[in-house]
Amino acid sequence: MPEGSMGISNIATCTAPVNIAVIKYWGKRNEELILPINSSLSVTLHQDQLKTTTTIATSRSFQEDRIWLNGKEEDINHPRLQSCLREIRRLARKRRSDGDPGLDSTGLSHKVHICSVNNFPTAAGLASSAAGFACLVHTLARVFGIEAELSAIARQGSGSACRSMYGGFVQWIMGHQDDGKDSLAQQVEPETHWPELRILVLVASAERKPIGSTSGMHTSVETSCLLKHRAEAVVPVRMDGMIEAVQRKDFPAFAELTMKDSNQFHATCLDTYPPIFYLNNVSHQIINLVHQYNNYYGETRVAYTFDAGPNAVIFTLQEHVSEFIQVVRHFFPPETNDGQFIKGLPVNCAPLSEEL
């Protein structure tokens, strides 16, 4: 590619959406390679919703690799960033030595400048690292001309990031090999599979979480016997049930497993020593509201799930969205939360028709 006035030899911009786990990943068996103790399953949001946008440029005039997150320069020597950069460059070198002229040899030695922005609060339990590392790896692969299976590289940035490499319903198969080569994300169903499914994010707090996922799950692995039981005996059965519920578009089964798995994940946080509290009073009120709403109708119309933070992610079907939003607005009036409380998100399909 001809070089521009800044000496830029290659540049690419990509976006990656967050994913919401309905069977949670919590705990590693190998911290360096990021290999999990259990498989997990998530729903990837629509590209136009909660997402990271990353631009990466290479240039022979760049003296060193650098990264800016949301406008602020961060440490490029972070080991997880280095793992992703190293793996992508290794693939690029391999491609070159295999005789593919896609990348000239000088381009390989060029330094990169990475610029990444989220359109949602970072570290508030909204899977920012998942979208961030998925986007980083995807954009790096573009810049270096790589077309390989990339989820194993994104996984080394942040475990949950491997699931954001695919749209729709995605499982992260834990794998059993020590080198992690079989610990990969795989699409279960594409984004077009369940067009009626909707996600609402109820923002209970946009503050940074007190304990990050990485250190939280480390302490859980060290101290929680419930987590061990969950990984060995509960999740394998739930993964099968969840895949079947998704394939059959069986909302009550999907919803029940989603809520039970979120509850068990937070129970393992309580079983961690010292205990970890991600939910707050508003989260608990939302859990009660969802169960009362479902009880009122005598069927499961709405489900909640919470990651490592107090914000609720609600799953429901399009036909129930506007009524459930009214119910939430009634119990949590907008004036008590600056109108920030509800964000309506279609999952991988046409935009919501409601004005939110």
35 binds ligand DP6 (CB under 6 A): no
Q: How far is the CB of 288 from ligand DP6 (least distance, A)?
A: 21
H-assigned helices in 2-74 = none
305 binds ligand DP6 (CB under 6 A): no
40 binds ligand DP6 (CB under 6 A): yes
Q: How far is the CB of 127 from ligand DP6 (least distance, A)?
A: 6
- Give me 160's structure tokens: 């949950």
Question: Which residue, among 83, 107, 79, has the nearest Cα to 93 in the 3D structure?
Answer: 107
Distance CA 127, CA 19 (A): 7
Distance CA 268, CA 255 (A): 20
Q: How far is the CB of 209 from ligand DP6 (least distance, A)?
A: 10
**Bridging pattern class, strands 111-118 and 66-69:** parallel
Q: How far is the CB of 259 from ligand DP6 (least distance, A)?
A: 15
Considering only the stretches 152-160, 236-244, 313-321, 334-342, report the one whose residues sit in contact with ligand DP6 under the rule CB under 6 A: 152-160
264 binds ligand DP6 (CB under 6 A): no
Q: How far is the CB of 329 from ligand DP6 (least distance, A)?
A: 27
Residues 231-260: x where in contact with ligand DP6 by CB under 6 A, - otherwise, as a string: ------------------------------
User: Do the Cβ atoms of 242 and 41 come closer than 8 Å?
Assistant: yes
Considering only the stretches 10-18, 113-121, 154-162, 296-304, report the one whose residues sit in contact with ligand DP6 under the rule CB under 6 A: 154-162
Considering only the stretches 98-106, 158-166, 196-204, 316-324, report the one whose residues sit in contact with ligand DP6 under the rule CB under 6 A: 158-166
Q: Which one of residues 17, 27, 107, 159 is an interface residue with ligand DP6 (CB under 6 A)?
A: 159
Q: How far is the CB of 57 from ligand DP6 (least distance, A)?
A: 26
34 binds ligand DP6 (CB under 6 A): yes
Distance CA 332, CA 341 (A): 8
Distance CA 140, CA 160 (A): 18
Distance CA 125, CA 336 (A): 21
Can you list the pairs that 218-223 forms with residues at least 24 positions away whose Cβ atoms lie under 8 Å?
A: 218/28, 218/31, 219/272, 219/273, 219/274, 219/276, 220/26, 220/27, 220/268, 220/269, 220/271, 220/272, 220/276, 221/27, 221/28, 221/37, 223/271, 223/272, 223/273
Considering only the stretches 47-55, 124-132, 188-196, 197-205, report the one whose residues sit in contact with ligand DP6 under the rule CB under 6 A: 124-132
Q: How far is the CB of 99 from ligand DP6 (least distance, A)?
A: 36
Distance CA 67, CA 75 (A): 7
What sign results for the dihedral spanned by CA atoms 208, 214, 215, 221?
Answer: positive
Q: Which one of residues 21, 152, 185, 289 is an interface residue with ligand DP6 (CB under 6 A)?
A: 21
Distance CA 310, CA 312 (A): 6
Q: Which one of residues 10, 160, 300, 316 is an interface residue with ligand DP6 (CB under 6 A)?
A: 160
Largest CA distance in the chain: 66
Q: How far is the CB of 130 from ligand DP6 (least distance, A)?
A: 6
308 binds ligand DP6 (CB under 6 A): yes
H-assigned helices in the chain = 79-97, 105-109, 128-143, 151-155, 213-223, 225-229, 235-248, 251-271, 281-297, 318-331
Q: How far is the CB of 123 from ligand DP6 (least distance, A)?
A: 9
The residue (of 54 and 160) whose beta carbon lies closer to ligand DP6 is 160
The residue (of 209 and 301) whose beta carbon lies closer to ligand DP6 is 209
Query: What number of chain residues touch ligand DP6 (CB under 6 A)?
Result: 16
25 binds ligand DP6 (CB under 6 A): yes
Q: How far is the CB of 13 from ligand DP6 (least distance, A)?
A: 24
Compute φ and ψ for 10, nearest 5 degrees.
Answer: -155, 145
Binding residues (CB under 6 A) for ligand DP6: these are 21, 24-26, 34, 40, 127, 129-130, 158-160, 213-214, 307-308
